[in-house]
Amino acid sequence: MSDRIYTLPIEQTKWKVPSGNTTVFTWDYDEGSDRLLSLYEKGKAKQWNASDRIDWSIEVDLDSPDLVPDEYVPIFGSRLWDRLGTEDRQRVKQHVTSWQFSQFLHGEQGALICASKIVQTVPDLDAKFYAATQVVDEARHVEVFSRYLREKVGFAYPINRSLQALLDDTIQDSRWDLTYLGMQVLIEGLALAGFGVTRDQTREPLARALNAYVMQDEARHVAFGRLALREYYKELTSAELADREEFCVEACYLLRDRFLGEEIWEHLDLAPAEAVAHINGSEAFQLFRSLLFTRIVPTLKDIGMMGPKVQRAFAEMDVLGYQDIDLEAVMAYDEEAADAIDAQRIAQVKTTIDVGAGAGADA
Ligand SMILES: [Fe+2]
Ligand SMILES: [Fe+2]
């Protein structure tokens, strides 16, 4: 990407984070855990090439009013929104799209860095094996979101401040389980719910396909985090667990605030304080924001991270009810949704070939 497509010059947004890793070697090459090794097998078998699986020739119409439904624009219903004409509203929708995909993109780069960090820091070889497949998955996710922004949207936003703060905390911490907790469970958990909203609500076929395919990979990543942490957290003292709980609470508040979109209102000079005040008070937006916790809450419960502090924070955020969501069923649906898009694409290609053959026979 060139500077041309960034809302801020990339020179201004360069970021380096010190990370006090301890690199762990192991000389124990014996067979590892069956469940981790079967996840590693699945990780290898389910690799895909973004250049072939996604039809990049699909045109994205940035002027279509369907690009983002009105209700999905965070300032929809405000006096600010009411004052805007049709053209300005469309411009806001384009910026909301760019901002959203930009945050997905930056989060994916965070995941790429964290997955490679896990390869270094996790003690067991089976986990290093699996994490190595995830490194390739995350590189592919960075590839698809950056290509979508570059070729279809045409401009990108820098990383959101709340997301950056959480990435900073996650990467700087030298404890391997904190990388899992911050990245695999919290940041990816929230991203998954966000991808799900795009996959299920957008009428734009390219965005739907790439979100569905990324989600199919992410289901494995979340399974990896759950497997590794569930066992490890059983061994920790109550003081060590309380420390992790505190991290989760702080992270969840940062994640909740990541969707205010301040960067958009600042960039478009749309009364940022008024916009944020509207968003914070909007009932529709509260509901959308709480939906973003549908993956995080049951996962934290599953790994034994639902102590009093976390429960209190979730009750305050009105998301505690999500703890009983059946994660296996939700992830099975993520698999099916991607397979359904594949089936549709293959059927379309077959129809094109049949029509071509029919035309050839007629000639
Ligand atoms: Fe990813
Ligand atoms: Fe991931």
Question: Residue 184 Cα, ligand 2 centroid: separation in angstroms?
Answer: 7
Ligand nearest to the CA of 138: 1
pLDDT for position 1: 47
| pLDDT tens figures, 217-257 | 998 998 888 888 998 999 999 999 999 999 999 999 988 88
Question: For residue 153, which of 99, 192, 198, 196 has the smallest C-alpha distance?
Answer: 99
Distance CA 36, CA 17 (A): 30
Structure tokens at 66: 């369907």
Question: Residue 191 Cα, ligand 1 centroid: separation in angstroms?
Answer: 9
Question: Residue 178 Cα, ligand 2 centroid: separation in angstroms?
Answer: 15
Ligand nearest to the CA of 140: 1
Distance CA 238, CA 245 (A): 10
Q: How many Cα atoms are found within 13 Å in the side-chain-facing hemisphere of 86?
A: 3
Asked if residue 322 has pLDDT above 60, the reply is yes
- Give alpha helix (H) positions in the chain: 34-45, 50-53, 79-83, 86-121, 125-147, 161-172, 176-179, 188-201, 205-234, 238-257, 262-267, 272-281, 283-291, 296-302, 308-316, 327-362
Domains of the chain (ranges plus CATH)?
3-10+33-355 (1.10.620.20)
Residues 284-303: what's their mean pLDDT? 90
Q: Quickly state the pLDDT bin for 360 (edges 50, 70, 90).
A: low
Which residue bears the tokens 């996650």? 170
Asked if residue 359 has pLDDT above 70, the reply is no
| pLDDT tens figures, 51-64 | 999 999 999 999 98
CB 341 within 8 A of CB 280: no
